[in-house]
A = this chain, B = another copy of it.
Amino acid sequence: MAVMPEWWGGRDLRGMLPHIFFEHFRGTSLIAEHEDRLLGFLVGFFCPDHADEAYIHFVGVDPSWRRVGLGGDLYRRFFALARAEGRSVVRAVTGPVNTGSIAFHTALGFSILPGDAEVDGLPVTADPGPQGDSVVHFELVLGGEGGA
């Protein structure tokens, strides 16, 4: 909570992480630390409704530790957790404006799923959640990971 405004350039995305994630989803969440300093985190879960799927809900990396592969490393460790639990597909979403996130997911081997509309040439679907914006859906079939 404390690092979020700084890591997201002043945007307050703390609402993405209600307390339940800290209490009930630790087993599928990861942190990266260096000398007791938090450098990055990944919050995910194994989808209860879809026995083959794991979902990456939210990921952050300290701005001064970006572009060294920390995000990719967190993702790959989550892939390993998912595979060990018999999950074969990992999903995530982002907004169509997040071109950096789209490049990151594509480099890791994620495909962009078909949507019901298009924004800037990207297939999107309406987000049923509170933001109400359209989102790009990513899917990675485990075994097809890239090296980003």
**B25-A129 in contact (CB<8A):** no
Residues of B within 8 A of A46 (CB): 48
- Complex Cα–Cα for A50 and B132 (A): 32
Q: Is the CB of B130 within 8 A of A20?
A: no
**A56 → B minimal CB distance (Å):** 10
Stretch at the interface among A9-17, A33-41, A61-69, A101-109: A9-17
Verify if A1 is at the interface (C-beta below 8 Å from B).
Answer: yes
Contact A27 B15, beta carbon cutoff 8 Å: no
A88: interface (CB < 8 Å): no
Q: A45-B48, A46-B48, A48-B45 are in contact. Are A128 and B24 (CB under 8 A)?
A: no
Nearest neighbor of A16 in chain B, beta-carbon distance: B18
Q: Beyond A17-B129, A18-B57, list 12 extra A-B contacts (CB 8 Å).
A: A1-B128, A1-B130, A19-B93, A19-B129, A21-B129, A22-B129, A23-B47, A23-B49, A24-B47, A24-B48, A24-B53, A28-B48
